[in-house]
Chains A and B, each alone.
Chain A
């Protein structure tokens, strides 16, 4: 590009400062402008000023959020690790309690198709995402049921010993759980399993040594399952496909099994 062309190009980019401050650029332009910002002190200064102006427009729109939002956000915060500051190593004691116990890296896969998540982050993210799932069209009863369930999930996440664990298979299907041994509760989310044929359901089982599997309940679509009454001796969770209404004992091989040792069980 000629010098003139480059200057024109710069000038052109520079004129995007106001649209940028108003978030009025398309994604590609936004990226190009942000790249330009890095080595244009004048633009950075101008963008800072224009952004402060734009924020004045924001301040005047303040409105009280729904009351239930606070509990959901605070519960999610308890279960969500922070990102490290740029240019700094991750501080080991920074993440909340949920990340206190990490499952040791496993050399052998517990099941051929399933590997543990690299961090428990993804497992908690699944559960946290379910807290935030807001459907546009809901009846009063659905709304009440959702709120009651959000409260239950928030309760488990808020337990001081709440820990997250999860696993994902090669097809991207995953199971996430946040469990509290002191509360004897676990929130389990399945993701990527798709809809089952009519008349079939996913059933969650608690596995204990030298004992029959105990049903913890049936999954309804993507809704997380909150199970109570978990005993400390529990070693793993298993999910099987069962006829509608569920079975007294599993009638098929588990589609996924999740060890609970890393989250304070299995003693």
Chain B
């Protein structure tokens, strides 16, 4: 069964459907959180919270507003970004150490086959963007920086960063195709 159908069942309180949904989305959720948060223990904690929130707020899912996967990964990304920002706010230095400690572990995480193929595609398509488009998109999405922070890091005006983000995403869409 597809995530969209499962999510409808989960919204009705079906715990078995949630188990199936867990099988489908726990890998993407955990991988995304881990990519953004980096620290292994914190990633596990955030991923668990996201999956529990998925159960709790499934009745709020509106299929008219997008796919289930998109909704779930958007939720996961939001929580991961919130965590990495509060960690940064708590202490830049500590965070840098966590990043260093987290990185080798991240590389050792086995990727799923589909993710491997998809990763190749995404990498290929990211390569087709201009350097500024690519950096604007990845600093925000994979590293959790706000567009103001991205502008600061790339020494660009705010308006330019917003445009680069928009152009970068549309070029990605052209390259990857519209279907997720």
Contacts and interface: CB of A to CB of B under 8 A. Distances in A.
Interface stretch (A63-71, A193-201, A212-220): A63-71
Interface stretch (A14-22, A102-110, A183-191, A250-258): A14-22
Contacts of B12: 94
Interface string A70-82: 1011101110111
B157 interface: no
B110 A64 contact: yes
Contact of A15 (B65, B142, B159): B159
B118 A65 contact: no
Interface string B24-50: 001111111011000101101101110
Nearest to B26: A65
A82 B59 contact: yes
A35 interface: no
A54 B178 CA distance: 12
A134 B45 contact: yes
A69 B30 CA distance: 10
A88 B45 CA distance: 31
Given A23-B78, A48-B66, A57-B137, A15 B162 contact: yes
B96 to A, nearest CB: 15
B100 interface: no
A138 B66 CA distance: 41
A80 B60 CA distance: 16
A55 B112 contact: no
B111 interface: yes
Contact of A62 (B28, B42, B57, B141): B28
A139 interface: no
B51 interface: yes
Contacts of A21: 169
Contact of A77 (B15, B34, B148): B15
Given A23-B140, A49-B173, A74-B19, A64 B56 contact: no
Residue of A17, A23, A86, A94 contacting most chain B CB atoms (<10 Å): A23
Contacts of A59: 28, 69, 73, 115, 118, 122, 180
Nearest to A64: B27
Nearest to A25: B146
A59 B69 CA distance: 9
Contacts of A72: 48
A136 interface: yes
Contacts of B57: 82-83
Contact of B112 (A62, A80, A82): A62
B165 interface: yes
A222 interface: no
Interface string A82-93: 111110100001
A83 B52 CA distance: 12
Residue of A65, A77, A132 contacting most chain B CB atoms (<10 Å): A65
Interface string B84-120: 0000000000000000000000000111101100110
A8 interface: no
B59 A84 contact: yes
B65 A73 contact: no
30 contacts: A19-B162, A22-B137, A23-B77, A23-B141, A25-B146, A26-B148, A51-B70, A51-B74, A54-B74, A54-B141, A55-B69, A56-B180, A58-B76, A58-B141, A61-B31, A62-B30, A62-B115, A63-B111, A64-B27, A65-B27, A65-B47, A69-B47, A80-B56, A82-B11, A82-B57, A83-B59, A84-B59, A94-B59, A128-B52, A132-B45
Interface of B: 11-13, 15, 18-19, 22, 26-32, 34-35, 39, 41-42, 44-45, 47-49, 51-52, 55-60, 65-67, 69-70, 73-74, 76-78, 81, 109-112, 114-115, 118-119, 121-123, 137-138, 140-142, 144-148, 150, 159, 161-163, 165-166, 169-170, 172-173, 176, 178, 180
- List the 10 closest A-B pairs by CB distance, nearest first: A63-B31, A65-B30, A62-B115, A18-B166, A24-B140, A85-B59, A18-B165, A60-B122, A62-B31, A60-B119
